[in-house]
Structure 1
Amino acid sequence: MMFAEMYFFIITCVSILLVLIVMPSVIHIAQKNQLFDDHSLSRKDHGCGIPRLGGIAFFISSILTSLFVIKPSAGLPMYQLYAASIILFGVGIKDDLSGVHFHTKLIVQAVVAFIITALGDIRINNLCGVFYVDQLNYIPSILISMLLIMFIINAFNLIDGIDGLAGTLAVIAYCTFGYNFMLIHQIVFAALAFIIAGSAGAFLYYNFSPAKIFMGDAGSMFLGMICAVFAIKFIAVKEASAVSIIQNAPVLAVAVLIVPAFDTLNVIAVRLYNKKSPFKPDRNHIHHRMLLLGLTHLQTTLILGAVTLFFIGLALLLQTANTSFMLLLFTAILLLLNAVVNGLVRVKIRSAYPATS
């Protein structure tokens, strides 16, 4: 075990080092060519142009490090993952530089999800009793897995709204997956998780407020895609593993992704309720509402990171509980927290703009 821990430490350090080497050049090139974030948009929180190409550095770091340490036949369909990553990263870069219509992004995401599920055979085979469903047939398995991958890709894309938030949640997710893969002796999965955790962690050095660079759509969609892959594989390999240290893999996977997942579902519901397109950007995200309360980017990021850790802890504490019960408990807690934030925002607005008689 000591050798494995040293191995993970070394590859994490390598991925960190690569980002620290590549990122200054990315920032310099972006600034020189004025490849800035469009800060004229009303939903932006920065007053000056900031490059959106930070995803380039940790994408390069993640791919290069994995090429050197993970063999294509080592338990993951690496060729399919590389192909899916490059396709998604390419459309993300195009979006960061000149914009891409959301229809185009959805089509590309569907293609990527198909490559991963149908060609890479990374898919959900069992719903573990959720909605009283266990084993899935092939076609429903592919369709549900594709929808899940597309959902998590967009969830990470949407949560990337303030300095450090998406990167912090990604580091928590990848470290959690990496550690738990290590516990169930899935060394290849653990290695890839720690590689990306190191890359995303190094990126945070440049992304914490005041941000020098954003990860952009290319970075956030890449992180979301690999997180979706890990969530699916974690549930699958845990079900097939004889190791009993982790009792309820689906609940832990949900806990890891709970903040971006709930925020995405919430903003979609709000937009539909207001008869707006679910794809039209606004400032109804949880991080935007927390900023309205007077919190800084760093404070908001730390609070949402702590919320994620709370749910991970709750999932580990109640491992033997029924999966459906845990998902209902998570939902109830999230709805309560969301109601508290909304209530505080309303109080803040009323105090700032008191009614006049």
Structure 2
Amino acid sequence: MLLLVTVGLISLALTAALRRYALARSLLDIPNARSSHALPTPRGGGLAIVISFLLALPLLVWAGLLAVHAFWALLGAGALVAAVGFLDDHRHIAARWRLLAHFAAAAWTLVCIGGAPPIMLAGWALAPSWLATALVAVYLVWLLNLYNFMDGIDGIASVEAICVCVGGALLYVLVGQSELAAVPLALAAAVAGFLYWNFPPARIFMGDAGSGFLGVVLGILSLLAAVQVPQLFWSWLILLGVFVVDATTTLLRRLLRGEKVYEAHRSHAYQHAARHYGRHLTVTLAVAAINLGWLLPLALLVSLGWLSGWLGLILAYAPLSFLALRFRAGSAE
């Protein structure tokens, strides 16, 4: 508990310092036709999440709450993605170079954890293979990019990360491995310190350094969970459902229209919903309610073996897909 409080306070203080730095250097996100905010706002505050969480990792290893190979996976991949995002926040980096760095981070992760973990499907463990390894690499890269895409209104990416991490920690407790809950809880604490400044109306934005870092770290945590208990991978996919469904639906619909998917836009379901309700807070709180009231119970059932992973995923994603289409995910404004 002392470590979690310390991580949260460090993140809180660092975010305040980064906000002053951004204001002094005029590092502002200026609203344009594709923005979801109306006022110039400092950006780059997600670096506080990165620093506070990475500082906690050696202490978790020392306390026996994090394996050394997991430490190197989180440190190496997280630092690389955050560094590329930080540079992109300050000066534009071509999409192909960002993507190359993202795949390098995924490859580093897989080397550190010994390849793709076993994944349970209909009671059988899918044996790791070169195809499984490639799919897991794509999964990590997609997750970190979709997290960047979904960081478009005040507080949504922070609330999602906290809900997923707290849910993931609870899963560990229920399957009898409560000592492993410390890592996701440390990430939740780091995000909570930042959320104080990012809660609607946001006083600072996360930036690519923070959103990409959260995406890849959450992906790594889902793989580490699968290493311990294979069915937990499905539980983590369920917990991440709001972001996965919205981003994937939006991407596919834009691809079908022949749009350049790497260009900025405002066609995600959550962005349409924010315009519909006229405020960010309503949508951000709705995401928290969906996570805690719908996705978490299903993830718990899967983790306890009372519901198969693939069936739990279908039950979780079906209403999310309906909501995504209801709020016109991927539709032109």
TM-score norm. by structure 1 comes to: 0.84
Match of 2:10? 18
Partner of 2:158: 167
1:108 pairs, out of 96, 101, 111, with 101
- Identity, % of aligned positions: 24
Aligned with 1:224 (options 198, 209, 215): 215
3-state secondary structure, aligned to 1:293 = helix
Change (3 A) 1:137 1:281: same
Task: Specify whether residues 312 and 302 from structure 1 end up closer, same or farther in structure 2 by C-alpha distance, changes over 3 A only.
Answer: same
SS, match of residue 276 in structure 1? coil
RMSD: 2.4
Q: What is the distance in 1 between the residues matched to 2:56 and 2:315?
A: 39
1:270 aligns with one of 208, 229, 253: 253
Pick closer, same or farther for the CA change 1:86–1:314 going to 2, 3 Å: closer
Query: Offset of 1:185 from its aligned partner?
Result: 4.6
Partner residue of 2:79?
A: 86
In 2: Cα distance, 1:137 partner to 1:88 partner: 25
Of 216-225 and 58-67, the range deviating more from structure 2: 58-67
Residue by residue over 1:105-125, the C-alpha shift from the partner in whole angstroms, topping out at 9 and shown as x without a partner, is 111100000000023326332
Does 2:240 align with 1:257? yes
Check conservation: 2:255, 2:261, Cα contact below 8 A.
yes
Contact kept, 8 Å, 1:122 with 1:229, in 2: the verdict is: no
- Distance in 2 (alpha carbons) for counterparts of 1:276 and 1:72: 49
8 Å Cα contact 1:122/1:232 also seen in 2? no
Deviates more, 1:317-326 or 1:190-199: 317-326
Shift of 1:147: 1.0
Q: How many angstroms apart in 1 are the aligned matches of 2:137 and 2:324?
A: 28
The structural deviation recorded for 1:46 is 2.2
Of 23-32 and 325-334, deviating more is 325-334
Tell me whether 256-265 or 324-333 shows the greater mean CA deviation: 324-333
The 5 A counterparts of 1:130-209 are 134-186=125-177, 189-209=180-200
Structure 1 gaps, min length 5: 1-8, 240-247, 350-357
- Assess, with a 3 A threshold, how the Cα gap between structure 1 residues 176 and 76 changes in structure 2: closer, same or farther: farther
Kindly indicate whether residue 257 of structure 2 is the aligned counterpart of residue 284 of structure 1.
no
Give distance in 2, aligned partners of 1:299 and 1:287: 10
1:314: how far off? 2.8
CA contact (8 A) 1:122 1:233 kept: no
1:4 aligns to what? none
C-alpha separation in 1, matches of 2:74 and 2:317: 32
The alpha-carbon deviation at position 174 of structure 1 amounts to 0.9
Q: Which runs of 5+ in 2 are unaligned?
A: none
Q: Tell me the distance in 1 between the aligned counterparts of 2:204 and 2:322.
A: 34
TM-score for both structures, normalised by structure 2: 0.90
The Cα of 1:223 is off from its aligned counterpart by 0.8
Residue of 60, 79, 89 corresponding to 1:69: 60
Q: Relative CO higher for 1 or 2, CA cutoff 8 Å, sep ≥ 6?
A: 2
Partner of 2:323: 337
| Alpha-carbon separation, structure 2, partners of 1:121 and 1:211 | 40
- Aligned equivalents of 2:57 and 2:223: distance in 1? 19
Query: What is the match of residue 28 of structure 1?
Result: 20
Which structure would you say has the larger Rg? 1
**How many angstroms apart in 1 are the aligned matches of 2:74 and 2:52?**
15
- Tell me how far apart the structure 2 counterparts of residues 100 and 133 of structure 1 sit (CA, whole Å): 43
| Structure 1 residue 338 displacement after superposition | 2.6
Aligned-pair distance for 1:154?
A: 1.1
Q: 1:171 to 1:23 in 2, by over 3 A?
A: same
User: Cα offset for 1:337?
Assistant: 2.1
Per-residue deviation at 1:170? 0.2
Q: Aligned partners of 2:328 and 2:208: how far apart in 1?
A: 28
